[in-house]
Structure 1
Amino acid sequence: MKKVKTIYYLDDDYDDLGIFREIAEELGHNVKVFSDGRKMLLTLEIQAEKPDFIFLDIHMPVLNGEEILEIIKKSEDLKDIPIVMVSGAYPKKLLQYCSDLGVSCLIKRHNFQEFKQNIAEVLKEFELTNK
């Protein structure tokens, strides 16, 4: 039986938050969504139980995904949580940046089934590499 994962998802687009939540819940996981990076970081700081995965939208106001990623990677308590960067576009520089930090990238899809399949593949990949 598959273990239910807790996933945090940060995105400033409310439609994308709803779609991601629906997909992750259909895949059998618990999801906490955030539209503000500062609130997510505060929750990470005060919650005793950490999420199994964090998905970060790259283009965010105030603190963007890259800035939040750097904060998380510098934290002793958070640095080992698998992170997936999510964006509608992937320039080579960003892909290299994520690769250098050992972070996966996920392209936002407007096709629900395709996006669901991509999310499931990323989660499965993490499970296989962390056995």
Structure 2
Amino acid sequence: MKESKLIFYLDKDNSDLYFTRKAINSLGHRVNTFLNGYHLLQALRNCTEQPDLIFLDIDMPILNDEEILNVIKNSDYFKHIPIVIVSVAYPKKLVRHLVKNGANHLIKKTRYAELKIALAPIFLN
């Protein structure tokens, strides 16, 4: 039996959070969701179990993806946690910038069935 992973997922859209939670749960993993970056960082600082993976939507209110990525990757305690950036589109300049600043994966927001397929390889690492 595969090990269940704890995932933190940040998105400003409740419906995206719902479908992503459903897709990740169907793969046998647990998800904590957040509507703003401040709450995600609070949860990170106060958690008894660190997440195995963090998903960040871009263009977030109250701490954007770049600010959150910077805090996580500059923390000795959190910098080992892989970060997946989620967006509808990725301009080349943005991709280079996010990868340079510590993003480990980038995936496009998509329909539920496609999301499960896109997520599966991430959980194999």
Deviation, structure 1 residue 99: 2.5
Question: Any idea what SS the aligned residue of 1:49 has?
Answer: coil
Q: Distance in 1 between matches of 2:89 and 2:103?
A: 19
Q: Percent identity?
A: 44
Deviation at 1:102, TM superposition (A): 4.9
* Counterparts of residues 23-62 of structure 1 (less than 5 Å): 23-62=23-62
User: Could you say which structure has the greater relative contact order, defined with CA pairs below 8 angstroms and 6 or more residues apart?
Assistant: 2
Preserved contact between residue 87 and residue 108 of structure 1 (Cα < 8 Å): yes
Structure 1 moving runs of 4+ over 3 Å: none
The answer (yes or no) to whether the contact 1:98–1:104 under 8 Å persists in 2 is no
Aligned length: 124
For each residue in 1:66-121, what CA deviation from the matched residue of structure 2 results, as whole angstroms up to 9, or x when unmatched?
11011100111100001101111100012112332252111101x21111110112
In structure 1, stretches of 5+ residues that fail to align are none
Q: How does the TM-score come out when normalised to structure 2?
A: 0.94
Find the counterpart in structure 1 of residue 77 from structure 2: 77
Tell me the TM-score normalised to structure 1 length: 0.90
Query: Mind listing any 5+ residue stretches in structure 2 that lack a counterpart?
Result: none
Using the alignment, how far apart are the partners of 1:105 and 1:66 within structure 2? 14
Alpha-carbon separation, structure 2, partners of 1:8 and 1:2 = 19
